[in-house]
Structure 1
Amino acid sequence: MSISIGNLRATASWNRTSRFWLAWPQATGHRDHDDAARDDSIALAQLLAVHAPVTMVATPMDVVQCSLQMPAGVMTLAADAGSSLLATQPVWLADAAGTVLAGVASDSLAGRDLAQAAGVQVVDLPAGWQGDLIETDGEGTAMVLARLAEGLVGGRVEAERLLAEKLGIMQVIWLNDPGAGRVPARYLAPGVVAVPGGHDANHPAFAALSANRDLLRATSDRVGRNFKVLDLPCPSRQRGCYSDCMVAGDLVVVPEFEESRDAQAFAQVVAALPDSRVIAFPATHLAGPGNGLGRTVLAQPKMN
């Protein structure tokens, strides 16, 4: 079921958390990797369950095995879409009182399935609009991937009108796509943004990432804050991303990739967020290419 927009606005990831959603890793045929991924999923569910309820999403074929291995109190949900249910990366929407009414702003079937599982309704968006193209601070500012405006007759002008009308986003910062197909930056706290760095000038993503970094450093948000931009390293051996931290309330989880740069990335985040609870967690076997933990765990905001 869809709802009218009214005064709904996109929420920030540092809102209080109602529930964490994780995807049970599917078999890849590489037993050592699969075992490690599932062990890490169980450990992550156990860690997060201290902060809010956790649901592990598994395919119908895997749900029995998954449920038998879950820590006490962790729920399981069978879904045909499996991990793609969480890959939609929804934008959670709240009314003026802070009550989460529309949890998924997505044009995908998986997004609607997730809305039903989360107990919230759906806001219809233009075809191709997904939550991982939009990163919002909950105060009217959003970093948006430039390709979101593609396909609209009015281009960015029309896109900005729709973002304001449907998501309550009044200031749009358009970022270049370095090739990941998602916003290459993540809010860690109000006015604090993490971006991937460490690329040399010959890297194909260097130009786009450098332009994004320069733009953010020269920009203030809708309430007048200058951005503090954390230029985090990139893993040297893995295809992961340190800047893709998981943020939920005052909890920030920095991904680890089992290499020396783990300590540098963690120290930078700790120094930038003195009021947050910053921890590290292994992401090597959980994160998809170019990702960290932010797109591995879905944090559903708490309703007032």
Structure 2
Amino acid sequence: MLRHRLTARPVPHPGPAPSRSETPMSLPRPSRRRLGAEWESHARTFMSWPALESVWEEDLRYVRKDIADLARTVAEYEYVVMMARPDQLAKAQRACGSEVEVIPLEVDDLWARDTVPVFVEEDGRVLGVDFNFNGWGAKQVHDHDARVGRNLLSRYGTPWLQAPLVAEGGSFETDGEGTLLVTESSIVNDNRNPGLSRDRIEAELKALLGVEKVIWLRGVRGEDITDAHVDSLVRFAAPGVILLDRAFPGTPADSWSRSSDEALSVLRGATDARGRAFEVIDLPQPDPDRVRGYDDDFLSTYANFYIGNDAVFVPRFGDRKADDRARGILQELFPRRDIVQVRIDTLATGGGGIHCATHDLPGRPVD
């Protein structure tokens, strides 16, 4: 995903060390910890109100409309909390409507998946793991987004862990039963974790997230700002069942289609944490010539969907045949959930999708 509108320059340190009251907790025994699957119950969904004209320029009002429409749609199924800068609070509330709670919290952009902590469960409580967001490897400056993890957890009184790694929430995909899918390009990378080997990073992820098995996919380095997050490539639909993003038939081969081919090869030869072989299901992209607003940065994958309480939210790109096919595939895999298609033309032009803009908090739904 290419968040291309902000000039790349070195990202400053995210701020001073936490005060005594903010100090992250020490790591307890990892065997008690669990990273749940997205299809499990959500207490709420977090989102972020895009703040900066310097990022979106003339498209800011249009991407805000996409985010407001998405928030209202998700709010029909579960509680939504929108983070917005205090001086933009009223505008965000008007756009999102009364069914969305808008809270004052300094943010820069809309990528809540990457800036909000990764939530794990341990001994009946939820912990937030702060992965030290650094602008996707110091490619962009996000001073406030670098502090979202600490500020959000402090607001809700949620215990937090500060990871000894740099990563983003879009880097991880789990089945909730101990299996983690990760693209090597997005985390075994000197722009996030200089000098750390894949084995060292894997050991840290197992301890932090309570997973038992990490399956590494090669990914793509340096061709988008995320270095190829896994959540636009492969997604679990159930334990042992994986949806794989595939290029539109007839599209010339490129780094992204080769990454998909490599992922398929790895998954065909792998098993999950329970020893099961994977069923891999193709999720074909739309025809680029039929997509509204398509350009070189457009994220046209259906794999960047979001599984909410009683619904799955997936893009509607404008290629009716492909949109219908994606909806049908997801409906077959999630028969008890509504498949809700959402128009995200400007958001996708900015190189992101529905999953990038949402972040689930596990727990009992808020009444």
TM bin, normalised by shorter chain, reads 0.7 to 0.9
The alpha-carbon deviation at position 126 of structure 1 amounts to 2.4
Structure 1 stretches lacking a partner, 5+ long:
none
1:282 counterpart = 2:328: no
Deviates more, 1:133-142 or 1:176-185: 176-185
TM-score by length of 2: 0.73
Contact 2:33/2:120 (8 A) holds in 1: yes
Residue 41 in 1 paired to residue 67 in 2?
A: yes
Q: Deviations over 1:5-44 (max 9, x none)?
A: 32222222112111111222445343xx544433343332
Instruction: Tell me what 1:196 maps to.
Output: 245
Hey, what does 2:207 align to over in structure 1?
165
TM-score, normalization by structure 1: 0.87
What amino acid sits opposite 1:245 in the alignment? F
**1:208 has 2:263 as partner:** no
Seen in structure 2, the aligned counterparts of structure 1 residues 47 and 201 have a Cα distance that, compared at 3 Å, is: closer
| Percent of residue pairs identical | 26
Match of 2:121 among 94, 104, 121: 94
Unpaired runs of 5+ residues, structure 2, are 1-22, 134-146
Taking a change above 3 Å as real, the CA distance of residues 275 and 216 of structure 1, as seen in their structure-2 partners, is farther
Is 2:21 the counterpart of 1:5?
no
Distance between the aligned counterparts of 2:282 and 2:152, measured in 1? 33
- Tell me how far apart the structure 2 counterparts of residues 198 and 19 of structure 1 sit (CA, whole Å): 33
Post-superposition CA distance 1:220-267 (Å, at most 9, x none): 211233323232222414312211110124421111122232222212
Deviations 1:136-191 (A, max 9, x none): 22211100121423446562222222122221111010011134421132223333
Asked if the contact 2:49/2:107 (under 8 Å) is kept, the reply is: no
Q: Distance in 2 between matches of 1:70 and 1:141?
A: 36
In 2, the alpha carbon distance for the partners of 1:292 and 1:84 equals 10
CA contact (8 A) 1:84 1:110 kept: no
Once the two structures are TM-superposed, the CA of residue 303 in structure 1 deviates from its matched residue by 5.5
Higher helix share: 2
Alignment of 1:23-102 (within 5 A): 23-26=48-51, 27=53, 28-30=56-58, 33-83=59-109, 86=112, 87-88=114-115, 90-97=117-124, 99-100=125-126, 102=127
CA contact (8 A) 1:145 1:177 kept: yes
Give a deviation string over 1:257-282, Cα, whole Å, max 9, x none.
22232222212222233243322111
Q: CA deviation at 1:123?
A: 1.5
Structure 1 distance, partners of 2:170, 2:155, is: 19
Task: Quote the Cα distance in structure 2 between the aligned partners of 1:59 and 1:110.
Answer: 11
Q: Alpha-carbon deviations, 1:72-101, whole Å to 9, x = none?
A: 23211223223267132532110143x31x
Evaluate the alpha carbon distance shift between residue 303 and residue 166 of structure 1 in structure 2; reply closer, same or farther with a 3 A threshold: farther
Distance (Å, rounded) in 2 between the aligned partners of 1:124 and 1:61: 29
Q: How many residues are matched? A: 300
Counterpart AA for 1:39: K
Partner of 2:40: 15
Within 5 A, what are the aligned runs for 1:74-153?
A: 74-83=100-109, 86=112, 87-88=114-115, 90-97=117-124, 99-100=125-126, 102-108=127-133, 109-147=147-185, 148-150=187-189, 151=193
Call closer, same or farther: CA 1:191–1:276 in 2, change over 3 Å: farther
Code of the aligned partner of 1:54: V
Q: Residues 267 and 290 (structure 1 numbering): CA distance in 2 closer, same or farther, change over 3 Å?
A: farther
Shift of 1:107: 1.5
